[in-house]
Structure 1
């Protein structure tokens, strides 16, 4: 557990500081919520070993140094979010579980809805993922012909053989676990939002990839995605409920989304837990789990007794990141895959930011870069700034989740050897963004991509 390791040395402290940059401000609501965060960080450090026993409940409680009420609440939160399984009886105890991708999608949609974001960020993110996967396919010189094996990769092709569209399938054929997971997540978000589904196969795209024509392939992706409308509808909370329900279970996560929607429509303090359970047909235990999830995500403030809960200001994406990062690590995603996805997605932010500045006839947000050499985490600060300026909160959430997963996949808090080169380019990128110079931002992003793709054993790509 992270609490037990805090005195282990400067390496652990540095990992904690970096992970704090990824998660953002984390202010646990209680001792139980602090224990939840500590357990999550500890399991990430262990590679999120799904199925592993943490021991009997009394033993785990003693290791954490918690009283019975706080420990019960912590277990309630972790079990409700799908992070732990509680097994009763002989041979029982706490066992590590993996978050479901449906729960990640639901949490993403709930955050976007509460933040008042539109469907544009979802459509734009899916297009970025498509571009990333196609870039890799062309770099590998993959020929997408059914049944043909090229460079050790078999591309099956064929309509109706892919559940999540061409991009997820192509990423799997490339052996890119992280990119395949992101393609499935992006498609799940689009389909839950009732957007246009990705085709299972596209002949024009396959031809462009087969001939190594990146420009033509990217043009075809734009056609398949359709125009991204910045004035599209705001994400509705009902979509989060729909995403959670895709897992096929009547979960506390789904109830949490419904309770959020009800709270948003009725400001002020709400009914007590037993009243919610009686009205909606859930058990008191599930309602308690749902309330604790919302409190842990910073969405509601809970009160005891009949005072119930009240909706808090729009939550930070911390709760979403704390679901997606374990999902990535639990899927046994190679560290190299994670870093490659981070690199591509980070380098897409400057172009988006420059376009926003150009279309707004001036900088969207004037934010000064940190002073050179001010601190060891200047690189992190600059990358977070670029992600914010991109105007796509989903992109920022995904990259920060990948960054958190990458930290624990590599267990190396060392900065990359090219960090100063990247920071120097980032400063020039900020100048291009402020000027609304899309061409310069794009050129600098490509240079940055080349630098960040240099192989190095100690390289740590962070967002």
Structure 2
């Protein structure tokens, strides 16, 4: 029998029993080979196996259903039916975390420039004859008259994105890019005639760039395709600066009240009041300046403050707890308390999805390498005295380590550079890919990673050398010789 109470979650907050049960269920499903379509057990059997009550089991199953890894089938022959981890759930978890921590447009566009460029370069290499008819079809659609409806336009642009991601053959890029676009593109249709006209103009310009992009992909010209991506990002970035006044705020920075849902968005998650309420509570915490452990209020207070039902509030709190934005405390003086944001839940869900899609070697190396180089470059530009001291201490430690220990601890360097880069979106993705590597068994895959680790660190060293000369002959010297 699995013991949910003994399952350790890599998170800064204590996991609730239902979370531990959900993790134990996923672990046990994985142990039998993740047989999609098989009934894992009835409600009564699962309650007995995990020694829990019906309420706890049902909460755990709701989490599994939200993740897309299983669902409860009622009736004769029913039970917990195993399914594949859902891509939408993983992308939404990444986007939600970025939104709740109020990642800025500037950070989002830095990350998108890297990820979208990587996607089109891979697509240009891999596009084959069977892909050309779909590319031509998209070119024809992009050449038609603008529909005048933001959501229709976004659907078409999403179709182009999905085509590029599919051709690239890279599940990690596809997942990350969808998350970035979900959190970047959502809002209310401009009511001001000038603003609306500007958005329509930019849509038209983006269409022309997308046509040129697809033509470049058909011709196998990755560099030209990358130029069109950069042009497109420049146009939309300039539009945000014009309409929002800059890039220092995030897409929902001003969302301090439970306003109506956006009427255009890549994801319809905003249709749910609980999601909007979670964002509002996170924004209010940020605006208040409250630190970790500070009390926000009791459930009745929060219901009255936001004018919502208990069910909506509890669903919003559940989202906030999963991302460690808040935590609940029972008893006298209890209520909702401020916590320290932690992406462990988000990363775990994304790793589950990616682990079921492609072998590591097909999607990991290129993205990991480029993310490492990008965050190293940003860290070099933005490093302060404290960051320099922190990095130097880590490099000294890695210099003394052997190859096996360096492999085991390589994630420390990735995370350190990611945090010093000042870009929380890239830091999240670095953490995700590091966790993905660690999720694979030892043996051949570990040896493959070890072979590339010296190459990664050598590139990082050359990029970072002007800031930390010790790197040059230190941490990389063993595997770069």
Is TM more than 0.5 here? yes
Alignment pair present for 1:352 and 2:333: no
Is the contact made by 1:106 and 1:244 (CA closer than 8 Å) also made in structure 2?
no
CA distance in 2, matches of 1:429, 1:413: 25
**Which position in structure 2 is the counterpart of 1:108?**
94
CA distance in 2, matches of 1:109, 1:199: 25
Q: How does 1:15-414 map to 2 (within 5 A)?
A: 25=11, 27-43=13-29, 52-67=38-53, 70-71=56-57, 73-75=59-61, 77-78=63-64, 85-86=71-72, 91-96=77-82, 104=90, 107-140=93-126, 142=128, 147=133, 156-160=137-141, 162-164=156-158, 166-173=160-167, 175-192=169-186, 199=207, 202-226=210-234, 232-235=247-250, 236=252, 238=255, 246-247=268-269, 250=272, 252-264=274-286, 268-273=294-299, 276=302, 284-304=310-330, 309-329=335-355, 333-335=357-359, 339-357=361-379, 359-360=381-382, 365=388, 366-367=390-391, 368-369=394-395, 370=398, 371-373=400-402, 375=405, 377-402=408-433, 404=435, 414=444
CA distance in 2, matches of 1:80, 1:275: 28
Is the contact made by 1:80 and 1:252 (CA closer than 8 Å) also made in structure 2?
no
Q: Secondary structure at the match of 2:327?
A: strand
Deviation at 1:232, TM superposition (A): 1.7
CA distance in 2, matches of 1:286, 1:84: 24
**Which position in structure 1 is the counterpart of 2:452?**
422
CA distance in 1, matches of 2:368, 2:337: 33
Structure with the greater relative contact order (CA < 8 A, sep ≥ 6): 1 or 2? 1
CA distance in 1, matches of 2:448, 2:336: 47
User: Structure 1 residues 396 and 353, CA, compared in 2 at 3 Å: closer, same or farther?
Assistant: closer
Is the contact made by 2:66 and 2:89 (CA closer than 8 Å) also made in structure 1?
no
CA distance in 1, matches of 2:266, 2:160: 24
- Structure (1/2) with the larger helix percentage: 2
Is the contact made by 2:326 and 2:337 (CA closer than 8 Å) also made in structure 1?
yes
Is the contact made by 1:108 and 1:320 (CA closer than 8 Å) also made in structure 2?
yes
CA distance in 2, matches of 1:254, 1:360: 33
Q: Secondary structure at the match of 1:53?
A: coil
CA distance in 1, matches of 2:45, 2:345: 27
Cα deviation, 1:27-46, whole Å, max 9, x if unaligned, reads 43343433333334444556
Runs of 5+ consecutive residues of structure 2 not aligned to the other structure: 143-155, 189-198, 472-479
Is the contact made by 1:77 and 1:289 (CA closer than 8 Å) also made in structure 2?
no
User: Structure 1 residues 173 and 128, CA, compared in 2 at 3 Å: closer, same or farther?
Assistant: same
CA distance in 2, matches of 1:271, 1:245: 30
User: Structure 1 residues 262 and 91, CA, compared in 2 at 3 Å: closer, same or farther?
Assistant: farther
CA distance in 2, matches of 1:48, 1:283: 38
Deviation at 1:164, TM superposition (A): 0.6
User: Structure 1 residues 102 and 276, CA, compared in 2 at 3 Å: closer, same or farther?
Assistant: farther
Q: Secondary structure at the match of 1:378?
A: helix
CA distance in 1, matches of 2:436, 2:372: 23
Cα deviation, 1:17-76, whole Å, max 9, x if unaligned, reads xxx9xx854543343433333334444556766655332223212222335565455445
Is the contact made by 1:50 and 1:98 (CA closer than 8 Å) also made in structure 2?
yes
CA distance in 2, matches of 1:350, 1:167: 24
CA distance in 2, matches of 1:103, 1:141: 28
Q: Taking structure 2 as the reference length, what is the TM-score of the superposition?
A: 0.67
RMSD: 4.6
Matched residues, number: 415
Is the contact made by 1:103 and 1:253 (CA closer than 8 Å) also made in structure 2?
no
Deviation at 1:88, TM superposition (A): 5.5
Cα deviation, 1:394-417, whole Å, max 9, x if unaligned, reads 234335435555666x65565443
Q: Taking structure 1 as the reference length, what is the TM-score of the superposition?
A: 0.69
User: Structure 1 residues 32 and 44, CA, compared in 2 at 3 Å: closer, same or farther?
Assistant: same
CA distance in 1, matches of 2:79, 2:299: 27
Runs of 5+ consecutive residues of structure 1 not aligned to the other structure: 7-15, 149-153, 442-450, 452-463
- Structure 1 window deviating more from structure 2 (278-287 vs 216-225): it is 278-287
User: Structure 1 residues 25 and 404, CA, compared in 2 at 3 Å: closer, same or farther?
Assistant: same
Is the contact made by 2:120 and 2:168 (CA closer than 8 Å) also made in structure 1?
no
User: Structure 1 residues 263 and 419, CA, compared in 2 at 3 Å: closer, same or farther?
Assistant: closer
Which has the higher Rg, Structure 1 or Structure 2?
Answer: 2
